[in-house]
Amino acid sequence: MLILNGRDRSPFTRRVAVALSVSGIEVQRNRFTSWDDLPRARAFNPLGRIPSLVLEDGEVIFDSSAIIDYLCERLGEDCCLFPRSGIRRREVVRYSCCAMGIVEKAVHSRYERVMRPPQMIQQSWLEHNKAQARTALAWLESEARSNRAFDFDPVNQAVIDTVVMLDYLPVGDPAIYVAADHPTLESIRSRAGTLAAFADTDLEKERRELGVAE
């Protein structure tokens, strides 16, 4: 059985966990972060980052995009994460990249706020990241209104990454996102919440199971 290292609190781990689930691939979970156990993370990834995926033969794949690429290779024509070719594939890739780009902006904002003493926080850097994320969110909201990449048939990587991103924003930087301004994205998130792949990786559910505050 495959082994997925990392907590779903990490959007990079969660996007892989959801992709595995919607692809029908069973996986064993080792839930830890590099903050909790850096030596353990380094045992699978020299950068000490999660997620990492251990294959049945012991080979390790790290970085969420590399893992998802492996899943597509493993599943071949049965892969639902990306269309095989053409404009539909490029659209899903584009939306996936946008969603994960927003995640990166939120991560930058979080690190700036929690890793520095208050007097050393660079407000201009926070505002820069917020502006980039908000512009991308507005674009994604507009695209999601009409593009069938978001119709859940199938649950592709664009849908996965969009929902994972939306669920992470309150952790990364709550000031970035106003739900009322993004009704289409909120509808997508609500619909995803009814599916086991998303419900089973819910951040609050994980916190309760692990008995942790964050």
What pLDDT does 213 receive? 78
**CA nearest neighbour of 161 among 173, 169, 72, 76:** 169
**CA nearest neighbour of 9 among 189, 163, 178, 171:** 171
Mean pLDDT of the chain: 95
Integer Rg of the chain from CA: 17
What average pLDDT score do residues 5-11 get?
A: 96
Q: Is the pLDDT of residue 149 over 90?
A: yes
Q: Phi first, then psi: what are they for 62, rounded to 5°?
A: -125, 160
Q: Counting runs of H as helices and runs of E as strands, what totals does the chain give?
A: 9, 4
What average pLDDT score do residues 44-65 get?
A: 97
Residue 214: band (very low, low, confident or very high) from pLDDT cuts 50, 70, 90: confident
Q: What is the model's pTM?
A: 0.95
* 52 strand-pairing partners: 5, 62
**Angstrom distances, CA of residue 64 to CA of 45, 108, 116, 174, 191:** 12, 18, 27, 24, 24
